[in-house]
Amino acid sequence: MRKIIHVDCDCFYAAIEMRDDPRLRGRPLAVGGDPGKRGVVATCNYEARAYGVRSAMASAYARKLCPDLLIVPPRMAVYREASQAIQAIFSDYTSLIQPLSLDEAFLDVSNSEACRGSATLMAQEIRRKAFASQGITVSAGVAPNKFLAKIASDWNKPDGLKVILPDEVEAFVKTLPIERLHGVGKVTAARMKGLGIDVCGELLPWRKQDLAKEFGSFGERLWQLARGIDDRPVVVESKRQSVSVENTYDHDLSDLDACLNALPPLLEKLAQRLGRLEGEYRVSKPFVKLKFHDFTQTTLEQAGSPVSPDGYRDLCTQAFARGNRPVRLIGVGVRLDSSHSLLGEQLNLF
């Protein structure tokens, strides 16, 4: 039986801003891009969330929901410094740490001797130390696996702790709303509710093959989650799957020529990011992402396409033909594999 802790900083970027400028406390606050330049909300505090403001929302729309919303630009260097300090605290308890982002991580403390081996006491100490060190609150979930630990960390937010003991798993999962399951979005949730499935316990009568027939490959995962099963280990070292850059334009790119003319600066930034990987990966194939003015989007990748300006122009041309309407965002990138081949041979193609 494993002991997993999921630690999640509460509204991390916004919390850092309120820490550094106490005048921001108590008022709706978001960290993100300029509403006048199609910015996007990176995160927001709980005062803003009360108005319906959420991460990944267009800043202009967030301002409509909350006219008094203050939007400040991100300070990534400051956030990274705070993140590193908090992750250094984790290493006092285990070496099995899997960061998911700057503000959250899984810890496997199954064999840790800290706090007399109590994962609950470790989570309490981590939360206290994070606040003492960085002046922000973090929430934590303790459970026998990653699936339940992540749900638990969100259970009593903000500044909360939820512990799910092994003998509590069955009862906890049985009443868990299906919207809480990772991978169940609005469309899947609506489909499940149409089948009379509102909580995980209502999945239990379903056979695995029937769930697979109804929901494809995700059906088997649903069968496991409904029983609180999650055998995924905490992965200390993860390999990158891709590198990309993208840009949202102040004004829509009206046609294909405008899109093609926007590619060179994106490709230059992409080459710079690849260069920082220091030969750890081999480029496998390029891809292009377009988001059209109506927020629909398409991604096109093609094995064998040259990782070159001409290759990206061809991909962009094909992707544009799928929508054939003004474009608000372009992204370019490459898929990677960890063959330890030098990237230097690829970079000259840019």
Which pLDDT value is given to residue 335? 87
**Three-state secondary structure call for residue 12:** helix
Q: Residue 30 belongs to a domain with what CATH number?
A: 3.40.1170.60
Q: What is the CA radius of gyration of the chain?
A: 23
Same domain for 198 and 215, yes or no, is yes
Q: What is the pLDDT of residues 101-114, one digit of tens each?
A: 899 999 999 999 99
**Predicted local confidence at residue 122, as pLDDT:** 97
Percentages helix, strand, coil for the chain (3-state, rounded to 5) are 40, 25, 35
Indicate the Cα dihedral angle 12, 18, 20, 24, nearest 10°: 150
Residue 237, domain member (yes or no): no
In a domain, 236, yes or no: no
β 41-44/29-32 pair status: antiparallel
On whether both 58 and 205 belong to a single domain, the answer is no
Do 150 and 178 fall into the same domain?
no
Domain of 335, in residue numbers: 242-347
* pLDDT at residue 56, rounded to an integer: 86
Residue 332 is assigned to a structural domain of this protein: yes
DSSP 111-164: T--GGGG-HHHHHHHHHHHHHHHHS--EEEEEESSHHHHHHHHTTT-SS-EEE-
Q: Is residue 128 part of a domain?
A: yes
One domain, residues 81 and 153: yes
113 and 8 part of one domain: yes
Is residue 212 situated within a structural domain?
Answer: yes
Kindly state whether residues 246 and 316 are assigned to the same domain.
yes
49 and 81, same domain (yes or no): no
pLDDT band at 238, cuts 50/70/90? low
231: in domain: no
Confidence class for position 289, pLDDT limits 50, 70, 90: very high
User: Which residues are CB-neighbours of 42 under 8 A, at least 6 positions away?
Assistant: 13, 30, 31, 32, 55, 74
User: How much is the average pLDDT of 62-74?
Assistant: 95
Q: Look at residue 169 in the predicted model and tell me its pLDDT.
A: 94
List the CATH number of the domain containing 205.
1.10.150.20
Last residue of a domain, one of 56, 74, 92: 74
Which of 165, 181, 206 is a domain's end point?
165
Q: What is the pTM of this model?
A: 0.72
3-class secondary-structure state, position 249: strand
* b/e sequence 270-298, b meaning 16+ C-beta within 10 Å: bbeebeeeeeebbbebbbbbbbbeeeebe
Query: Is the domain of 255 the same as that of 310?
Result: yes
Q: Which residues contact 117 (CB under 8 A, 6 or more apart)?
A: none
261 and 330 inside one domain? yes
Give the residue carrying structure tokens 């300006």. Answer: 309
**103: annotated binding-site residue?**
yes
Task: Among 74, 91, 113, identify where a domain stops.
Answer: 74
Q: What is the mean pLDDT of residues 319-343?
A: 81
- DSSP character at residue 331: E
Report the CATH number that the domain containing residue 339 is assigned in CATH: 3.30.1490.100
Q: Are residues 119 and 267 in the same domain?
A: no
* Residue appearing with tokens 């992750």: 87
Q: Is the peptide bond before 166 cis (omega within 30 degrees of 0)?
A: no
Average pLDDT over residues 46-68: 94
Q: How many domains does the chain have?
A: 4
- Strands 282-292 and 297-301 turn out to be antiparallel
Give the bridge partners for 43, in sequence order.
31
Question: 37 or 196: whose pLDDT is higher?
Answer: 196
- The yes-or-no verdict on residue 348 having pLDDT over 70 is no
Lowest pLDDT segment from 33-47, 115-129, 211-225, 330-344: 330-344
- Percentage of the chain surpassing pLDDT 70? 94
**pLDDT score for 314:** 94
Residues 271 and 326 in one domain: yes
pLDDT score at 288: 95
Consult the annotation and say whether 8 binds a ligand.
Answer: yes
Q: Are residues 57 and 87 in the same domain?
A: no
Query: Does 342 reside within a domain?
Result: yes
As annotated, the active-site residues are 104
